[in-house]
Amino acid sequence: VIEGHVGDHAQIVGIGATSMGEHPGRSGDDLAIEAIARALSDAHVDKNEVDGLITCKGFAGSGIDVNVGRMMGINPAYSATLDYGTCNFSLHLACMAIASGLARTIVLTYGTNQRTAGNRFSSPVGGAESRYHATEGFLNIAGPAAMAFRRHQHLYGTTQEQLGRIAVNQRHNARLNPEAIFRDELSIEDYMQSRYIVAPLRRPDLTMISDGGAALVVTAPDRARDLPVVPVSVLGISQHTGLRDLENPDHLMRPWIGEVATRIYDNAGIRREDVDVLYIQDPSSVWVLQMLEWFGFCGVGEAGSFLDEGHTALGGRIPVNTHGGQLSESYMWGWMHLVEAVRQLRGEAGARQVRGAEIAQYCSTMAFKKAASSVLARGIS
Amino acid sequence: VSSRDRSDPYWDAFWEAATDGTLRSQSCTACGHRRLPPSPQCPECLDPDAVWEPLSGLGRLWSACVYHHAYQSRLRPDLPYAVGLIALAEGPMLIARLGRRDVDAWEIDDEVQFVPNGIAETGVLTFMPRQVQN
């Protein structure tokens, strides 16, 4: 468990991303370096000032710090590789490194060529204990996600149309995002006619697979003040795990995410009602359904009606995944959720801008193993 | 059963018995915790000593899903197929194929039982609706 205010320690001063889609002939690290160059330019920070590098393992051996650092041409004081970045975990490590004095200005990045390199996501979810699931055909996060949604339907009467509101809403948002990959109109009728992949989940409930790179520059407040950018403060961070896996009661419902929710708002010094825009990593729409409930934006079991009432749409009470998320914008392991949160807080989100957005929250998980959340605010706290 | 992952030796005793028609799991000799997946130490008390004991093969369906997409090409002939997460009567949770019934007919909390010749016939660990005797 990581606790405490970090707002005095870490500011996001640069964001960078490649175009999203297909990048044949380019490696994940190649795409990461392009994103890093863009993020450094955005921050007005020279690469030789960077004294911390945090990478996360990607497809086909990409995302190792010692390789990315060499390609970037730096000898930072601190570098590390996370097995599973999903941005929240990488951002939290950056906050800790700055707070501890290990580094002052950190680049964190993720790059992938998994679409053109042909990652089919045909493995079971989880660690060594779940490898036997391959023979039984229990593959991809779609399986456990479908089971979790079936259970949610059984317990609370949630309908497939209600779940479909998530994909339909995110497609609407993506249509306002020129960088999004899936921009064809998607109505709830289209959703209900789309094919099952792992029933009750349909094609629009599951992430696309795409290539791309993303990077952030995070630094200490005294340095952020000198830069000609609108800084975004990391107000609070929190994590919790469910490492005992299926030995946890109702494990696939991930009730342990609720432990993150009990701490994140106190850590950030805000109330949940203060959040203006919400980002939820979405390898499947079920992540959004579960996290709306565990973070208390609606009651447990009430996400179906909450979605029906339109609260998560642009213009609603709490707009969710304004860029389109992994269901419609791109699959960047949640990294573009944080890039979009910074764009919204800077007022740079164009046609999908949430007016007056001051506070953003990002919630993500490492599959069914652990969860994390960050609260960000415009300006230096 | 060529696709069975054999890289984790702790599973060998489980698959050997399951292929012969019996489910079994480790029982911790120190604290009595019944554990599955198999592991070298008890996750409750960390004691390494355990004995393999038979399971009843009975359980209740926590949830189920139906695959309409083959994530590996060898699974294409099986489509559509149902997979269940089963709460075994003795406590552990187990992933298995659901068979001998229409894939869309499964309901949460259905009583299920292990199919003893499932692995021999189809290569996969299979549960079916519980047969009420007499």
Query: What is the DSSP annotation of A29-98?
Result: HHHHHHHHHHHHHHHT--GGG--EEEEE--GGG---HHHHHHHHT---SEEEEESS-TTHHHHHHHHHHH
Give the C-alpha distances (Å, rounded to integers) separating A330 from A112, A170, A215, A275, A283. Answer: 11, 11, 15, 24, 10
pLDDT digits (tens, 9 = 90+) for A24-39: 999 999 999 999 999 9
Report yes or no: B97 at the A interface, CB cutoff 8 Å: yes
Find, among B55, B53, B127, B133, the residue nearest to B91 by Cα.
B55
pLDDT digits (tens, 9 = 90+) for A175-195: 999 999 999 999 999 999 999
**Phi-psi category of residue A230: left, alpha or beta, with phi > 0 → left and psi -120 to 50 → alpha:** beta
Cβ of residue A121 closer than 8 Å to a chain B Cβ: yes
Q: How confident is the model at residue A121 (pLDDT cuts 50, 70, 90)?
A: confident
Kindly list the distances between the CA atom of residue A316 and the CA atoms of A82, A278, A300, in Å, as whole numbers in the listed order: 36, 11, 20
pLDDT of residue A134: 84
CA B48-B53-B55 angle, 5° bins: 130
Nearest to A131 among B5, B68, B104 (CB): B5
Using 50, 70 and 90 to split pLDDT, how confident is the model at A2?
A: very low
Task: Take residue A82 and report the two structure tokens written for it.
Answer: 């996370």
The stretch B114-122 carries a mean pLDDT of 95
Question: Count H helices, E strands: chain B?
Answer: 2, 8
**Among A123, A135, A248, which would you mutate to test the B interface (most chain B Cβ atoms within 10 Å of its Cβ)?**
A135
Please name the residue of chain B whose CA is at the shortest distance from the CA of residue A121: B71
Question: Can you give the pLDDT at residue A117?
Answer: 86
Section A37-50 average pLDDT: 98
Average pLDDT rounded to a whole number, residues A344-352:
98
- Who wins on pLDDT, A7 or A302? A302
pLDDT of residue A156: 98
**With b meaning 16 or more CB within 10 Å and e meaning fewer, what string describes A273-297?**
eebbbbbbbbbbbbbbbbbbbbbeb
Asked if the Cβ–Cβ distance from A132 to B3 is below 8 Å, we say no
Tokens 């489910």 belong to B23
Q: Looking at chain A, which residue has its C-alpha nearest residue B84? A: A147
Residue A6 has pLDDT above 80, yes or no: no
* C-alpha to C-alpha distance for B134 and A1, rounded to whole angstroms: 54
Residue whose tokens read 């309901």: B107
Q: What is the mean pLDDT of residues A246-260?
A: 95
Cα of A139 to nearest chain B Cα, Å: 7
Beta carbons of A141 and A331 less than 8 angstroms apart: no
Does residue A135 sit at the B interface (CB-CB below 8 Å)?
Answer: yes
| Residue B117 zone, left/alpha/beta (φ > 0; ψ -120 to 50; rest) | alpha
Looking at residue A86, its pLDDT comes to: 79
Give B2's pLDDT tier (boundaries 50, 70, 90).
very low
- What percent of chain A has pLDDT above 70? 96
pLDDT category at B9 given cuts 50, 70, 90 is: confident
Residue A128 near chain B (CB below 8 Å): yes
Name the β-bridge partners of B95.
B85
Test B68 with A198 for CB contact under 8 angstroms: yes
Q: What is the pLDDT of residue A130?
A: 65
List CB contacts (< 8 A) between A196 and chain B: 66, 68
Q: Is a pLDDT exceeding 60 seen at residue A318?
A: yes
Q: What is the pLDDT of residue A129?
A: 55
Task: Report how far Cα A87 is from the mean position of its chain's Cα atoms.
Answer: 6
* A1 band by pLDDT with thresholds 50, 70 and 90: very low
Query: So what's the pLDDT on residue A124?
Result: 73
Q: Is it the case that residue A73 has pLDDT exceeding 70?
A: yes
- ipTM metric: 0.96
B85 shares contact with chain A (CB less than 8 Å): yes
SS3 call for A254:
coil
More confident residue, A149 or A380: A149
CA distances from B21 to B5, B12, B15, B54, B114 (A): 19, 14, 10, 11, 9
Q: According to the model, what pLDDT value does residue A244 have?
A: 93
Q: What are B63's strand-pairing partners?
A: B85
CB A357 within 8 A of CB A378: yes
Q: No. of H helices and E strands in chain A?
A: 13, 11
Residue A87: per-residue pLDDT: 85
Q: For A185-228, write each residue's pLDDT tens digit.
A: 999 999 999 999 999 999 999 999 999 999 999 999 999 999 99
Q: What pLDDT sits at residue A133?
A: 82
Residues A293 and A45: beta-carbon distance below 8 Å: no
A131 touches chain B (CB under 8 A): yes
CA distances from A114 to A21, A130, A332, B73 (A): 10, 23, 10, 19
Which DSSP string corresponds to A55-68?
A: EE--GGG---HHHH
Q: How far apart are the first and last CA of chain A?
A: 23
Q: What is the pLDDT of residues A272-296, one digit of tens each?
A: 999 999 999 999 999 999 999 999 9
- Of A207, A204, A201, A194, the C-alpha closest to A152 is A201
For residues A282-311, give the mean pLDDT. Answer: 98
The pLDDT of A83-90, averaged and rounded, is 87
Angle at CA of residue B64, ends B59 and B65, nearest 5° = 155
